[in-house]
């Protein structure tokens, strides 16, 4: 599938914001309680799931014999890195006692940023089930995929309301309920977004108007706080629409532009996301009680997180075994790796 450069640019911008938030959390006491945290989170998380929906909408429906192979790809893309980075944190930082303790913690509280991985994997699996079903019903892809995801939401709402065991992981389920509708919007609307060509004036108007609306709403409802975040779903859904409209304006401005660093960051955004969490984990709370030193430290830590992560990811491609072991997937040009993966595919879809 051919890469869409402007989606990579948006993903690159999003990963910069993600790293920015995580660095600020290391340097500002109670940063999560500030207006800036809520503002940056609103600019970041909705677009991550919206872009995921956009990219998955490019997949064509496939027959049921291909479903195990698609599940395998999601396992390697999301679940494998999820567990490898948990293991690395246990071995290097002794963050948890064992895998069970780590999984329970990550499901019950969305710490460490790894919650994004299992949430995306779950949504992707449901999407593939919908794509598989839609292959047997012409021109039904959007309706069936959306219906499958909405059914998943409904089931979670029922489970969360009626079973105590699910309430232990309520925060994880709440995140699914908040971001799945945004993913559906990306999946359904992306073909239309590709066709829209707005003027520069309208694009700028979309950007600045929605940016102002985000500032007003976040100031009124500091949604980073978990209490507000999960008690006012209607507020969260409305606020999350504004950054999506803002990014639509940005997409129209950059569709035919050439930007050097952001597409690269976007292309490797998932791997950068993994690695920067490991880098920042090495630093405990940093505050030097000096404004100039704190600014310099912030710049250094931010650049280290971005450029260090990118360098590690790019170097790992020269050692495909290490790359596959850590990240679970590889785009390397080594023939033996392609050969192994193609044999697994043939085995799973029952080809001779």
Burial class (CB in 10 A: 0-12, 13-18, 19+), 105: middle
Q: How confident is the model at residue 306 (pLDDT cuts 50, 70, 90)?
A: very high
Cβ contacts of 196-201, under 8 Å, gap ≥ 24 = 196/248, 196/252, 197/252, 197/255, 198/248, 198/249, 198/252, 200/253
Q: How many CB atoms lie within 10 A of CB 339?
A: 9
Instruction: Tell me: pLDDT of 296 over 80.
Output: yes
- Predicted TM-score (pTM) of this structure: 0.82
What is the band of 351 on the pLDDT scale with cuts at 50, 70, 90? very low
299-333: burial string, b at 16+ Cβ within 10 Å, e else: eebbebbbebbbebbeebbeebeebbebbbbbebe
* Contact in structure between 51 and 64 (CB atoms under 8 Å): no
Confidence band, pLDDT 50/70/90 cuts, at residue 153: confident
**Predicted pLDDT of residue 287:** 62
78: its two tokens: 């999301």
Greater pLDDT, 49 or 38: 49
Q: Residue 54 is encoded by which pair of tokens?
A: 């956009």
- Residue 263, pLDDT above cutoff 50: yes
Q: What are the tens digits of pLDDT across the range 50-88?
A: 998 988 888 888 888 888 888 887 777 777 887 787 777
User: Is pLDDT of 9 > 80?
Assistant: yes
Q: What is the mean pLDDT of residues 263-287?
A: 81
Read off the pLDDT of each residue in 191-204 and give the average, rounded to a whole number. 83
Which among 275, 297, 277 is positioned nearest to 286, based on CA atoms? Answer: 297
Distance of CA 236 to the CA centre of its chain: 18
Per-domain residue ranges of the chain: 5-348
Q: In percent, how much of the chain has pLDDT > 90?
A: 4
Q: How confident is the model at residue 338 (pLDDT cuts 50, 70, 90)?
A: very low
CB 278 within 8 A of CB 89: yes
In whole angstroms, what is the distance from residue 270 CA to residue 250 CA? 21
Decide which of 275 and 343 is more confident. 275
Q: Which residues contact 11 (CB under 8 A, 6 or more apart)?
A: 48, 51, 265, 266, 267, 269
Whether residue 37 has pLDDT greater than 50: yes
């Amino acid at each position: 599938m051919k890469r869409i450069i402007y989606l990579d640019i948006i993903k690159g911008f999003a990963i910069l914001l993600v790293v920015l938030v995580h660095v600020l959390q290391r340097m500002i006491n109670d940063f999560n309680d500030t207006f800036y945290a809520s503002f940056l989170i609103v600019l970041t998380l909705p677009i991550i799931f919206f872009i995921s929906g956009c990219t998955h909408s490019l997949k064509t429906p496939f027959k049921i014999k291909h479903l195990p192979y698609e599940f395998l790809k999601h396992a390697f893309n999301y679940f494998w890195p999820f567990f490898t980075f948990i293991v690395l944190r246990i071995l290097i930082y002794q963050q948890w006692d064992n895998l069970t303790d780590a999984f329970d913690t990550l499901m019950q509280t969305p710490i460490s940023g790894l919650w994004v991985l299992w949430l995306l994997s779950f949504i992707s699996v449901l999407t593939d089930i919908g794509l598989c079903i839609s292959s047997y019903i012409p021109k039904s892809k959007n309706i069936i995929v959306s219906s499958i995801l909405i059914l998943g939401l409904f089931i979670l709402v029922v489970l969360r309301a009626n079973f105590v065991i699910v309430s232990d992981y309520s925060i994880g389920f709440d995140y699914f309920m908040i971001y799945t509708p945004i993913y559906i919007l990306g999946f359904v609307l992306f073909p239309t977004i590709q066709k829209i060509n707005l003027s520069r004036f309208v694009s700028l108007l979309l950007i600045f108007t929605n940016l102002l609306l985000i500032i007003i709403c976040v100031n009124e409802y500091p949604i980073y706080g978990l209490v507000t975040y999960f008690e006012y779903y209607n507020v969260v859904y409305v606020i999350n629409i504004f950054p999506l409209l803002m990014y639509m304006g940005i997409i129209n401005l950059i569709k035919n532009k050439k930007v050097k660093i952001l597409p690269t960051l976007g292309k490797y955004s998932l791997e950068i996301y993994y690695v920067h969490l490991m880098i920042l984990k090495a630093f405990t709370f940093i505050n030097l009680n000096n404004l100039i030193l704190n600014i310099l430290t912030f710049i250094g830590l931010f650049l280290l997180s971005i450029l260090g992560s990118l360098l590690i990811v790019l170097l790992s491609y020269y050692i495909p075994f290490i790359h596959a072991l850590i990240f679970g997937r590889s785009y390397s040009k080594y023939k033996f790796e392609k050969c192994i993966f193609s044999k697994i595919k043939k085995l799973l879809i029952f080809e001779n």
